[in-house]
């Protein structure tokens, strides 16, 4: 039970950690000052959520590990994030498409996590959902703006959606840890979110004059610690300060 809960929390928190790091890479590089600041603030929101999760994980671990150790000192195969969030900032369309495809899931997930019998997870979800509701509105608006914009912006956004679509199904894949936590009433049965997710995503794409990909070929593995090459490079930057100057704190 204790080990399952610890790993379950990592599975939730790592998504926000890695996506927050990806957005942080854009600081000073956004297409406009307002958008740059907005993306940075979303990144900070995600890191704030991560702290709550990792503080709880450290408490459950009950050893000398701190939130910083859990966040910064694991090896690549020990991270449980989905493949979607580790994909690079190819261009602004990819950044917003990645954000949108995760935000729709994240909002639905937190709505259900609020019902968890674990009062700490329920409280974290209740606190985070307000922020994620904004994230989803922000990314949805950019999908509409770019999809229904110029020919070039439409083409780039369609390319981004098509390219990232292969990573969406993993959001609803259950690990053995997930199944155990659902049985305990602690975790969210993500399989039940799938239909609503694709309905919502398709509706926004329709409003944006974009095509919903028909591909049924999906990739997974991130939840089991099997990642794309991109995560290793991301972790090199994320962990550099903590490994070079041990015992630093956030």
3-state secondary structure 143-176: HHHHHCCCHHHHHHHHHHHHHHHHHCHHHHCCCH
**Residue 250 predicted with pLDDT over 70:** no
pTM (predicted TM-score):
0.94
**Residue 38 predicted with pLDDT over 90:** no
Tell me the longest C-alpha to C-alpha distance in the chain. 56
- For residues 182 and 50, what is the distance between their CA atoms, to the nearest angstrom? 21
Give residue for tokens 């600041």. Answer: 37
Give the number of other Cβ atoms within 10 Å of residue 245's Cβ: 8
pLDDT digits (tens, 9 = 90+) for 103-159: 999 999 999 999 999 999 999 999 999 999 999 999 999 999 999 999 999 999 999
Could you give all domains of the chain from N- to C-terminal order, each with its CATH number?
Answer: 2-244 (1.20.1260.10)
Compute CA distances 214 → 63, 101, 164, 198, 219, whole Å. Answer: 48, 15, 13, 12, 15
More confident residue, 65 or 19: 19
User: What's the pLDDT at 249?
Assistant: 63
- For residues 65 and 68, what is the distance between their CA atoms, to the nearest angstrom? 8
């Amino acid at each position: 039970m204790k080990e399952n809960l610890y790993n379950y929390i990592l599975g939730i928190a790592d998504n926000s950690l890695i996506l927050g790091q990806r957005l942080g890479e854009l600081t000073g590089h956004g297409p406009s000052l307002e958008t740059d600041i907005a993306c940075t603030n979303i990144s900070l929101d995600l890191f704030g959520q991560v702290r709550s999760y990792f503080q709880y994980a450290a408490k459950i671990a009950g050893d000398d590990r701190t939130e910083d150790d859990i966040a910064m000192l694991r090896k690549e195969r020990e991270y449980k994030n989905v493949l979607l969030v580790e994909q690079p900032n190819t261009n602004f369309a990819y950044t917003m498409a990645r954000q949108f495809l995760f935000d729709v899931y994240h909002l639905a997930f937190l709505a259900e996590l609020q019902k968890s019998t674990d009062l700490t997870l329920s409280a974290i979800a209740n606190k985070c959902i307000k922020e994620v509701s904004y994230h989803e509105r922000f990314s949805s608006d950019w999908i509409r703006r770019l999809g229904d914009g110029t020919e070039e912006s439409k083409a780039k956004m369609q390319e981004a959606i098509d390219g990232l679509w292969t990573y969406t199904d993993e959001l609803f894949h259950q690990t053995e840890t997930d199944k155990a936590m659902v049985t305990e009433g602690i975790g969210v049965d993500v399989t039940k979110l799938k239909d609503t997710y694709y309905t919502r995503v398709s509706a926004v794409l329709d409003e944006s004059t974009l095509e919903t990909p028909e591909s049924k070929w999906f990739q997974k593995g991130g939840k089991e610690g099997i990642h794309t090459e991109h995560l290793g490079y991301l972790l090199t930057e994320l962990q550099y300060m903590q490994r070079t100057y041990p015992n630093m704190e956030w």
